Amino acid sequence: MRDSSSWMERLRKQLSAAIPLKFSNFARIELMLYALQAYFPQQPIRKAHLLMQGYREPRISDRQWEIIKHLRHLAPEFRSSISWEIALRNYDDMANSTTAGWLGFELDYENNRITLTNNMVIQRYDTYEDALTKKPLEFDTRKKYDPAPAGNYQFNISSDQTRLVSISNAIANIGTQYKNSVPSINLSQNRAPIRISLQQLVQQGINLQSVIGYDAGRIIANSNYWDIQKNQQANEIYIDGESHILGPTGSGKSTLIESLITLLIKHNKKIAIATNSVGEVQDWLEFAQQLGIKSVPIIGTSERHKHLSRLNQAVMFGNSQQSFTHPGFRWLSQCCPLFAIATPSIPQSTNQKRNKTPCFNQLEDVDDPKQKKYDCPLVGVCPRHITPQDLEEAQLIVGTLPGFIHKKVSRHDLKENITILEYLALTTDLFVVDEVDLAQPKLDELFYPIVTIASFKPIQDT
């Protein structure tokens, strides 16, 4: 969700000719070729995609690693060998056509040599250099929250159904109010290394007994803790950067994490937890409610009705409370205010097709010849959505890894166009991945070799 294309405008103005290739594709090919020529002259041209896999080989210098990080963001498609092969074929075709005079590079595959041609626009190399070294990887803020003004609109609810909705001035004013108050990212300022003594954790475990139903302090006190790096008995939990808590099943890792997280929240730390199921998310919500911790779950929308059904069953069979009083109920709401005022009214779908809410497809102005699209003006007060205040005030944000990775922060929540994972990387003080052995296969499936994980440092870097 970083801004990956604005650098091209400078190059587009320099190259006024019509190039027989989509300009953004042409620009990224030449950017990659410049990086190879300037920073990786020994890298085989046809195998340049290997640089983009995300694994730092021993021979890669710090400077080269910074260039690779920018390349992985600015030209992500070249992480695929097929995409890079197609790109080279297209460039070779241009070299053999009437547009050859506009190309900035000559490719000699046999001798593995890339030569600058200086054709037409010498300044292009400055543009590539700036994109790779000087221009920071800024956030994309172009997709801003644009609530619909008063008027008549239509929106799709399925592949073959649309509905009309009339936005009154009163409804439009709600959107205007939220449009004028969309915040920017509030970066974490509380990221000093964490150092918690086991004695503190034992006491915190004792304090949790009334909530979790057993003496966590006794479990922590009766366990042995070993610092693998120092090869000695540990008397504290020390976290500086990436850390691991290892132990066999039943050794008390989860108990330790619960005590650690609640203690850190007391110290004004903001925590994120990645679990392996929505059921575990609901457990954390219930745990947080009992302790008075402000928590926000990140739950997908497409399967929300199934999650709600499972939650109802679990609560009912447990006979502990009515399902609608469970803290997870609020976050699984399927209510859409615009559904209620749409014409004709929208009943619950029974034809195996899910109704999509207007905020997904946006509202199309039926009175505008260009059919301009707007966001829902009620999203700021819609029970389906997390509010900016919820996100900012949350002491604990919990969800699944796929949810963090794929779900974007709503435009009414934040000016920056980023994913939940990027938001957490920039705003939380500690990110916990529970049962990382189960999470690793998911990460491999999600990230290799397509997407890079954002930096967990509070800077605009990838």
For residue range 205-252, list pLDDT tens digits in order: 999 998 888 899 999 998 888 888 889 998 898 888 888 888 888 888
The whole-angstrom separation of Cα 4 and Cα 418 is 13
| pLDDT score of 323 | 57
Please indicate, yes or no, if residue 368 is contained in any of the structural domains.
no
Specify burial of residue 272 (Cβ count, 10 A radius: 0-12, 13-18, 19+): buried
Residues 6+ apart with CB under 8 A from 90: 21, 25, 29
- Rounded to an integer, the average pLDDT of 300-310 is 71
The whole-angstrom separation of Cα 442 and Cα 288 is 26
| pLDDT score of 454 | 43
Cβ count within 10 A of residue 188? 18
Please indicate, yes or no, if residue 329 is contained in any of the structural domains.
no
Confirm if 272 and 431 have CB atoms less than 8 A apart: yes
- Rounded to an integer, the average pLDDT of 259-272 is 94
- Rounded to an integer, the average pLDDT of 179-196 is 86
The residue ranking higher by pLDDT, 227 or 109, is 109
Q: Give the model's confidence band at 196: pLDDT under 50 very low, under 70 low, under 90 confident, else very high.
A: very high
In this predicted structure, the answer to whether residue 259 has a pLDDT above a threshold of 80 is yes
Q: Give the model's confidence band at 459: pLDDT under 50 very low, under 70 low, under 90 confident, else very high.
A: very low
Please indicate, yes or no, if residue 430 is contained in any of the structural domains.
no
Percent of residues, the chain, with pLDDT higher than 70:
87
Q: Give the model's confidence band at 167: pLDDT under 50 very low, under 70 low, under 90 confident, else very high.
A: very high
Please indicate, yes or no, if residue 248 is contained in any of the structural domains.
no
The whole-angstrom separation of Cα 82 and Cα 150 is 49
To which H or E segment does residue 114 belong?
Answer: strand 113-116
Please indicate, yes or no, if residue 154 is contained in any of the structural domains.
no
Please indicate, yes or no, if residue 387 is contained in any of the structural domains.
no
The whole-angstrom separation of Cα 137 and Cα 144 is 19
Which two structure tokens, joined as six digits, stand for 386? 């997390």
- CA of residue 241 relative to chain centroid, distance: 20
Angle between helices 198-207 and 253-266 (to 10 degrees): 90
| pLDDT score of 148 | 94
| pLDDT score of 318 | 64
In this predicted structure, the answer to whether residue 316 has a pLDDT above a threshold of 80 is no
In this predicted structure, the answer to whether residue 450 has a pLDDT above a threshold of 50 is no
In this predicted structure, the answer to whether residue 21 has a pLDDT above a threshold of 60 is yes
Most confident of 79-83, 274-278, 375-379: 375-379
The whole-angstrom separation of Cα 58 and Cα 211 is 49
In this predicted structure, the answer to whether residue 432 has a pLDDT above a threshold of 90 is yes
Q: Give the model's confidence band at 451: pLDDT under 50 very low, under 70 low, under 90 confident, else very high.
A: very low
Residues 6+ apart with CB under 8 A from 256: 201, 220, 223, 237, 245
Residue 63: give the domain boundaries: 8-134
- Rounded to an integer, the average pLDDT of 257-262 is 93
The rounded mean pLDDT for the chain is 84
Calculate Rg over the CA atoms of the chain.
26
Q: What are the φ and ψ backbone dihedral angles of 206, each rounded to 5 degrees?
A: -65, -40
The residue ranking higher by pLDDT, 158 or 378, is 378
- Rounded to an integer, the average pLDDT of 171-190 is 88
**Geometric angle at alpha carbon 111, from 105 and 115, rounded to 5°:** 20
Per DSSP bridges, beta strands 271-275 and 396-400 are parallel
The whole-angstrom separation of Cα 162 and Cα 153 is 10
Per DSSP bridges, beta strands 113-116 and 105-108 are antiparallel
The whole-angstrom separation of Cα 306 and Cα 314 is 12
Confirm if 274 and 443 have CB atoms less than 8 A apart: no
Count of domains observed in the chain:
1
Largest CA distance in the chain: 79
Q: What are the φ and ψ backbone dihedral angles of 414, each rounded to 5 degrees?
A: -155, 140
Please indicate, yes or no, if residue 65 is contained in any of the structural domains.
yes
Percent of residues, the chain, with pLDDT higher than 90:
36
Cα atoms in the Cβ-side hemisphere of radius 13 Å centred on 456: 12
The whole-angstrom separation of Cα 259 and Cα 204 is 6
Please indicate, yes or no, if residue 195 is contained in any of the structural domains.
no
The whole-angstrom separation of Cα 51 and Cα 65 is 9
In this predicted structure, the answer to whether residue 150 has a pLDDT above a threshold of 90 is yes
The whole-angstrom separation of Cα 135 and Cα 7 is 8
